[in-house]
Amino acid sequence: MLFTNACSGDSTRGRSPVNPIPDIPAGMRSAVLGAGCFWCVEAYFERVAGVQEVISGYAGGTTVNPNYKEVSQGASDQVEVVMVIYDPLQVSYRALIDFFWTTHDASKNNGVWPDFGPQYRSILLYSNASEKDTIAASRNAYQSAQNMQIATEIKALKMFYTAETYHQDFAQLNPKHNYIQQILVPKLKKLGFSL
């Protein structure tokens, strides 16, 4: 099948410098999460009202300055994630976490179809005790409503590394890419969105 390492783009391209946590504009907040290939997760959250920007990156591990080749091949302990920058006057952190559960099968801890391996695992990274409590409340409500056990990793955010430039807004800039057409478009339709 075409997508054994489905989120693999041209990993031989020159990589941009990988930067730590970006500055968040005044009045905005951020949420860092992963649910499979960041091309998809970025596209999901870009469609949520109140979200100002979504940045693809790496977090959840200890590898310093990871690059796409290392992460996508499982040669680091980092996870493909996104940083969702949002306006809390328009959308709450709880609403973003509630939406997160609907984007993938959170009962699995080995990746999100069709991308498998720890680098594609479901993960929520909190920045403070309030976010941690919100995640727990949302998770408990979703588990109860769906009658399922959630396997999503939940941990403190230590560092976020911005992914290489060619991964940012990937679906928007590459709408004809096979992965976007065959994997993302059907997932977006299930969520009630279009590309």
- Model pLDDT for residues 144-194, shown as the tens digit of each residue: 999 999 999 999 999 999 999 999 999 999 999 999 999 999 999 999 999
Write down the pTM of the prediction: 0.88
* CA angle (8, 10, 14) in 5-degree steps: 130
The mean pLDDT value for 85-111 works out to: 96
| Paired tokens of 186 | 């059907």
Contact 168, 61 (CB under 8 A): no
d(CA 121, CA 101): 13
Q: Which residues are catalytic?
A: 37
pLDDT score recorded for residue 11: 38
- What pLDDT, on a 0 to 100 scale, did the predictor assign at position 170? 94
Calpha distance 162→39 (Å, rounded): 13
| Cβ neighbours around 156 below 10 Å, total | 11
- Our measurement of the distance from residue 113's CA atom to the centroid of its chain's CA atoms, rounded to an integer in Å, reads 14
Domains of the chain as residue ranges with CATH: 29-190 (3.30.1060.10)
Question: Residue 5 pLDDT more than 60?
Answer: no
| pLDDT score for 23 | 79
Each residue of 23-66: pLDDT tens digit? 788 999 999 999 999 999 999 999 999 999 999 999 999 999 99
Cβ-contact 60, 83 below 8 angstroms = no
Enter the DSSP assignment of 59. Answer: E
In 7-138 the beta strands, taken as DSSP E runs, fall at 29-35, 51-59, 79-86, 111-112, 115-116, 122-126
- The interaxial angle of helices 93-102 and 38-46, nearest 10 deg, is 130
